[in-house]
């Protein structure tokens, strides 16, 4: 059967493609590729983060959204950082705080959902074993991988704002991260150089042998909880042990006759669909790809969608999110009239 697999790094794509060639299904390939991706793109994803799955199964009418979020630890308080706020992030991603306590180090860590998410979709819709899905990632971590141009550049790039953290700041905030992701002279790795992470490989082998539950209630959980507690994290052993997933319907829209599904609030799906709704009213092909007018309309559609996103997007379990309004064709028509009138959009 013709198939395709897409991931940011070729090493992850290759691992997933091999699963497909051996007869595995799309979920088998996705989970395998994701584990490899978590090794070779540590600045983007990993077993300590979260997972978000938008899955459409052939023969079914709807898409399934599985949310394995990184949840705030139970020791957080709503008012604990009120006196540390510097200003909102102009990009719309939260706030800058004194000491960067919300962005780097142990106080920025949330309860990870990634392992639970991967385990859930593999058990429910996959055909290969948990150990087989993890094995390629362990081999890559042990043997090493070549640093991509993107990773090398991002590790050296300065933060966009003086109050923000760069990726290098994240690495520098932890001695183990410095040991693994910096060269002996303390410099970041360059494109084409090899990074090995045998400790990560050992952890993956342990996880493969012990199963995903070990990450939340077993030996790995105990070791993580002890380290988190010793270093002032808000995540506790009980947070790990009681972690649960969210399963919900994906958010759905349409674009020029095609059905579009994506992750529902608080994730990016509503914003994406809102952009497409606005652009649907323009003849983009007639403008010419990447022409000035084409780029202008794309930029304005993005600004409009974010102008609605920034004040309204939140976790629906704690706030009312007007998702249906944000992705309505009527709202898109409002924004097109605004754009056509040449009015600015403040974000």
Q: How confident is the model at residue 1, as a pLDDT?
A: 62
Mean pLDDT across the chain, nearest whole number?
94
Query: H or E element: which one contains 172?
Result: helix 167-172
**Highest-confidence segment of 11-15, 93-97, 315-319:** 11-15
CB 113 within 8 A of CB 243: yes
Answer yes or no: is pLDDT of 61 > 90. Answer: no
DSSP 264-309: PTTSSHHHHHHHHHHHTTS-HHHH-TT-HHHHHHHHHHHHHHHHHH
Answer yes or no: is pLDDT of 336 > 80. Answer: yes
pTM for the full predicted model: 0.91
CB 97 within 8 A of CB 59: no
Percent of the chain with pLDDT over 90: 86
Domain boundaries, the chain: 10-241, 252-340
Q: How confident is the model at residue 94, as a pLDDT?
A: 86
Burial 281-301 (b: 16+ CB within 10 A, else e): bbebeebeeeeeebeebbebb
Higher pLDDT: 154 or 298? It is 298
Higher pLDDT: 275 or 4? It is 275
Answer yes or no: is pLDDT of 331 > 80. Answer: yes
How far from 29 is each of 13, 21, 49, CA to CA, in Å? 9, 10, 20
CA gyration radius for the chain? 22
Distance CA 314, CA 72 (A): 14
Answer yes or no: is pLDDT of 24 > 90. Answer: yes
Distance CA 347, CA 345 (A): 6
Distance CA 219, CA 265 (A): 34
Distance CA 30, CA 3 (A): 12
How far from 185 is each of 22, 179, 245, 326, CA to CA, in Å? 43, 10, 42, 50
CB 110 within 8 A of CB 235: yes
CB 266 within 8 A of CB 314: yes
Answer yes or no: is pLDDT of 250 > 90. Answer: no
For residues 248-272, give the mean pLDDT.
Answer: 93
For residues 167-184, give the mean pLDDT.
Answer: 93
For residues 37-65, give the mean pLDDT.
Answer: 88
DSSP 35-71: HHHHHH-TTT--TTS-EEEEEE-TT-SSEEEEEE--B
CB 207 within 8 A of CB 114: no
pLDDT in tens, 186-202: 999 999 999 999 999 99
CB 31 within 8 A of CB 126: yes
CB 13 within 8 A of CB 7: yes
252-340 under CATH 1.10.246.130, yes or no = yes
Give the Cβ contact number of residue 223 at 10 Å: 12
pLDDT in tens, 63-89: 888 999 999 999 999 999 999 999 999
pLDDT in tens, 108-151: 999 999 999 999 999 999 999 999 999 999 999 999 999 999 88
Q: How confident is the model at residue 216, as a pLDDT?
A: 98
CB 208 within 8 A of CB 131: yes
Report the relative pairing of strands 95-97 and 145-146 from DSSP bridges: unpaired
Higher pLDDT: 278 or 160? It is 278
Q: Residue 187 has which token pair? A: 């410099």
Distance CA 204, CA 115 (A): 11
Residue 93 exposed, middle or buried by CB count within 10 Å (0-12, 13-18, 19+): exposed
pLDDT category at 248 given cuts 50, 70, 90 is confident
By mean pLDDT, which of 118-122, 315-319, 341-345 is the weakest? 315-319
């Amino acid at each position: 059967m013709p198939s395709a697999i897409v991931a940011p790094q070729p090493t992850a794509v290759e691992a997933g493609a091999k699963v497909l060639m051996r007869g595995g299904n799309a979920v088998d390939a996705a989970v395998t590729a994701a584990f490899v991706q978590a090794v070779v793109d540590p600045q983007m994803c990993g077993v300590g983060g979260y997972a978000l799955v938008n899955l459409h199964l052939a023969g079914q009418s709807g898409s399934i959204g599985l949310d394995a979020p990184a949840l705030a630890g139970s020791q957080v308080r709503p008012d604990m950082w009120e006196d540390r706020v510097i200003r909102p992030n102009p990009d719309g991603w939260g706030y800058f705080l004194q000491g960067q306590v919300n962005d780097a180090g142990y106080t920025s860590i949330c309860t990870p959902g990634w392992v639970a998410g991967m385990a859930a979709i593999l058990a429910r819709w996959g055909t290969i074993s948990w150990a087989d899905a993890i094995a390629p990632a362990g081999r890559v971590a042990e043997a090493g991988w070549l640093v991509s141009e993107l990773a090398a550049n991002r590790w050296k790039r300065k933060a966009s704002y003086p109050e923000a953290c760069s990726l290098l700041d994240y690495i520098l905030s932890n001695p183990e991260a410095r040991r693994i992701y910096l060269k002996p002279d303390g410099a970041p790795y360059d494109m084409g150089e090899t990074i090995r992470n045998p400790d990560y490989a050992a952890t993956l082998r342990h996880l493969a042998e012990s199963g995903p539950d070990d990450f939340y209630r077993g030996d790995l959980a105990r070791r993580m909880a002890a380290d988190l507690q010793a270093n002032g994290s808000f995540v506790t052993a009980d947070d790990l042990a009681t972690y649960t997933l969210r399963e919900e319907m994906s958010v759905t829209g349409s674009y020029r006759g095609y059905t579009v599904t994506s992750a529902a609030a608080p994730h990016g799906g509503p914003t994406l669909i809102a952009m497409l709704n606005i652009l649907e009213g323009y003849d983009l092909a007639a403008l010419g790809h990447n022409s000035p007018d084409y780029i202008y309309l794309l930029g304005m559609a993005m600004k409009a969608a974010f102008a609605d996103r920034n004040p309204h997007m939140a976790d629906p379990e704690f706030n009312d999110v007007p998702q249906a309004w944000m992705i309505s064709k009527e709202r898109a028509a409002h924004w097109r009239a605004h754009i056509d009138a040449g009015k600015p959009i403040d974000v």
